Chains A and B, each alone.
Chain A
Amino acid sequence: MSTSSVNSTISNALAALAPQTSTTGSSTFASDLQASVNRALQIASLPMQTLQADQSTISSKTTELNTLGSLFNSLQTALQGISSGTGSNALQATVGNSSIVSASLNGSPLPGTYSIDVLAPGSPSSAQSTGGTPVADPTTQNISSSSTYTLTVGTSTYNISLSTNSLNALASAINASGAPVTAVVVNLGSPEAPSYQLALQSTALGDVPLQLNDGTNNLLGTLTAGTDGSYTVNGQPPGGITTDSSTVTVAPGLNVNLLATGSTTVTVSSSLGSVSSELSSFVTAYNAAFTELQKNFGQSGGALTGDSTALSMQQALTQMISYTGSGGSITSLAQLGVEFTQQGTLTFNSSAVSGLSQSQINDALSFLGDPNSSGFLQFANNTLSNITDPTTGLVASETQTLQSENQNDQNQINNDQAQLTLLQTNLQNQMAQANALIAQLQQQNTLLQGLFQYDTSNNPNAQSAG
């Protein structure tokens, strides 16, 4: 049956039945029932293609929203990547003569140049076992048969216990004891006749007494005493700073490792080295989101074409890239090599970053700011969060709206179906009662006409109509 034929049949039926349906009464139930019937018949008149199109639209929109949401999440992740190269992470320490000291950062030292004069790099104390039981195989033999030892480092003692009695096990147990020494096993014999001994070296510089006792004998020989380290920072103090550690803190967040006697500089400065690579990743993520979004504009006919969500997303991208800083020599992404193409995508020219002076680098870092507190990163992060937030973001709310619309339709249909089922039951009962009445009337008519004909064959009024 064609759709128009179905519609015609339904319309005729509805027209014929309207008066009858209204005779069921004037209650609210009756009018609700009538509304359900009318709505159901209207829906029934929709072509199936329309229903399929509805389903396809909701499904396509949801899929596209998920795709865009994922791409915007990636963009926000790339934004976080940029922040990993800013702030204290943008600082670097450069050593003038790396044979004299090495430098490391563990905080945010003030940028500047520090002059380091190593008067003495210092040395640790050391001692090794002498005599005792000869050890040709350190995996099975030990310098003592004892399973417990007392290690003395400076004025501190440490108890050492062995589960396996071997020289290798003893060295490992000392290293695991927490004592500020390093234990190794060394071969003082020839390759043909090896003689393994235990050698200890203090972690600290200077004269640190070392001894290992097996409960009966001291196992270490003569101590080779170490010396303290000494150095000055920017020439102060003139007599030098004595240290028992080769690693010293010369400024908050700046550590120097003393390697050899001599003078050198350590320069702390800002760098955009890691920012540059993260900007490249950011541009790639932006282009992916932008390209996908463009499918929903113009003739492309994407699922979100004409939807305000797509427009909001595009505006967010534009606003983010168009951010302008308030001061300094760097106030836009374009100055960092991030520029628009004619198609609206972005390109990144890393030479724009590598060519910046130290002053410009500082301004660039100020322009970028921090995702939580300032600058481009904060603005962009907030802008993207308005879209990606899993609870309040645009994607989440739009998805929720689609699902709600769908659910409302389903609820309405369920309600209509319940009403129609009730109406079906009523109609079936009505037909059964009508059937019974028809038979009853037929029977009574027959009986009465029989009664009349019994003795009034001459009465024209008693003749059956047939």
Chain B
Amino acid sequence: MPKALADLARELRAAVLGNEHEKAGRLADQYALEVARQWSMMSKAERAASTLPQQSRELLTWARDVAIMHHAMAGQHLAAIEMANRYLAARANYLKSAAL
């Protein structure tokens, strides 16, 4: 794999793991363009022997799975926070009613 494409893949993994979704989106675009560019420069024989399709498929699928996991965890976190907020509001109301 050309160095530029390897760098993009590494940065994309770091962004996805770091929960930096906007950056990951930009890197994914650059990565896809670079893959397409390199693919277009290969001869038929090179394409037949290339692991680029497998590597790109594995990377993008992995990134998508991690993003889905993050989304799910954020949703779970949000639900817990909303519940906590409701209890806080209830407690605040009780305290206000007790402030005679």
Contacts and interface: CB of A to CB of B under 8 A. Distances in A.
A21 interface: yes
Interface string B8-32: 0000000010110110110011011
Contacts of B71: 431, 434-435, 438
List the 9 closest A-B pairs by CB distance, nearest first: A433-B21, A40-B84, A462-B53, A434-B71, A452-B53, A58-B98, A445-B60, A441-B64, A55-B94
Interface string A30-48: 0000000100110110101
A9 B81 CA distance: 12
B79 interface: yes
B36 A451 contact: yes
B57 interface: yes
Interface of A: 6, 9-10, 13-14, 16-17, 20-21, 23, 37, 40-41, 43-44, 46, 48, 51-52, 54-56, 58-59, 62-63, 403, 406-407, 409-410, 413-414, 416-417, 420-421, 423-424, 427-428, 430-431, 433-438, 440-442, 444-445, 447-449, 451-452, 455-456, 458-459, 461-465
B51 A409 contact: no
A58 B92 CA distance: 14
A452 B70 contact: no
Contacts of A447: 32
Select the residue from A16, A56, A414 with max chain B CB neighbours within 10 A: A16
Contacts of A456: 47-48, 50, 53
A12 to B, nearest CB: 8
B33 to A, nearest CB: 9
Contacts of A9: 80
Contacts of B31: 444
A266 B32 CA distance: 124
A442 B64 contact: yes
A455 B88 contact: no
Select the residue from B54, B96, B99 with max chain A CB neighbours within 10 A: B99
B98 A54 contact: yes
A449 to B, nearest CB: 6
B41 interface: no
Contacts of A37: 81, 84
A43 B47 contact: no
A45 to B, nearest CB: 8
Contacts of A428: 78
B4 interface: no
Contacts of B63: 437, 441
Given A427-B77, A441-B60, A452-B39, A43 B21 contact: no
- B contact face: mostly helix, strand, loop, or mixed: helix
Nearest to A21: B77
Contact of B88 (A55, A417, A465): A417
A449 B91 contact: no
B73 A20 contact: yes
A436 B25 contact: yes
10 contacts: A17-B73, A41-B80, A44-B84, A44-B88, A421-B85, A438-B67, A440-B29, A441-B28, A441-B60, A456-B53
Interface string B35-66: 11001000010011111111011101101100
A423 B35 CA distance: 38
Nearest to B77: A17
A406 B57 contact: no
Given A55-B98, A461-B50, A431 B74 contact: yes
A438 B89 CA distance: 35
Interface of B: 16, 18-19, 21-22, 24-25, 28-29, 31-32, 35-36, 39, 44, 47-54, 56-58, 60-61, 63-64, 67-68, 70-71, 73-92, 94-100
B48 A458 contact: yes
A427 B35 CA distance: 33
A386 B15 CA distance: 67
A101 to B, nearest CB: 62
A23 B94 contact: no
Contacts of A434: 21, 67-68, 70-71, 74
B98 to A, nearest CB: 4
Given A440-B25, A455-B44, A448 B57 contact: yes
Nearest to A449: B57
A281 to B, nearest CB: 30
Given A41-B80, A410-B95, A417-B88, 17 more contacts: A10-B83, A44-B80, A44-B84, A59-B97, A59-B100, A62-B100, A409-B91, A410-B99, A424-B85, A428-B78, A433-B21, A437-B63, A445-B57, A445-B61, A449-B53, A456-B50, A462-B54
B94 A51 contact: yes
Contacts of B61: 445, 465
A376 B90 CA distance: 52
Given A20-B19, A23-B18, A40-B84, A444 B28 contact: yes
Given A13-B76, A455-B47, A424 B81 contact: yes
A119 to B, nearest CB: 73
